[in-house]
Amino acid sequence: LGSVLFVMVLFYLVNWKDDDIRRYSWSIISTTVSIFTAVLVFSGVKELLFTLLEKFLPLKESEALRLVAEYSVFLVWFAAMHAMIAYQAGAWTEGAAAEMHTHHWVIADPMLAAFGEEIDEEDVRNPSGVKSIAYVDGIEVFVQKRHVARDTRERRTKCWAMLFAHMAGFSAISAGGELQQSALLRGSPLTAAAAAALNQALL
């Protein structure tokens, strides 16, 4: 019953009459899904990787090797995050900058399933401005001139940046926890707190 009530509240919030409420509701849902997805992917990849490494390295017997492995995994996720951001932003794509400055007419009515789809300029009633009316399948709809490629890259960059940032963050937490549980630093609350400061300095 609680789950049904929770879903009903979500539907209510994402269809609220206030634009800010709808936007922040979707933002919170997006962040929450990203966090749980990142936990699932990071945990699965870590378990698989460490299971394979244990066949070749004595990770269970050596704290030093486990620490090196943990921080190495973090560095891989951190580098993957930057690589994904660069790729989605078009830093490695030739002609991406020129493409992102190109305007296209798109359907601007969020109540339509075709919202955001490009349309031909000849279907626009007054193409001289940035907002107008167009005829789509014989129906008048609101249209707007937008940087479609830029908006797409921005949306995808935010999506993948958030996902990889969470995975890199969970990797840093895992490495810091391994450092804090090491024989050298787990002896007292003071050394445990020093582990947190040391982990922050290393990162």
Residue 69 has pLDDT above 80, yes or no: yes
With b meaning 16 or more CB within 10 Å and e meaning fewer, what string describes 176-201? bebbbebeebeeeeeeeeebeeebee
Residues 31-46: b if buried by 16+ CB within 10 A, e if exposed: eeebeeebeebbeeeb
How confident is the model at residue 38, as a pLDDT? 93
This prediction's pTM: 0.78
Q: Which of 85-94, 139-148, 183-192 has the lowest mean pLDDT?
A: 183-192
pLDDT of amino acid 45: 92
Per-residue model confidence as pLDDT tens digits over 33-66: 999 999 999 999 999 988 888 888 887 888 888 8
Q: In which element (H, E) is residue 165 found? A: helix 148-180
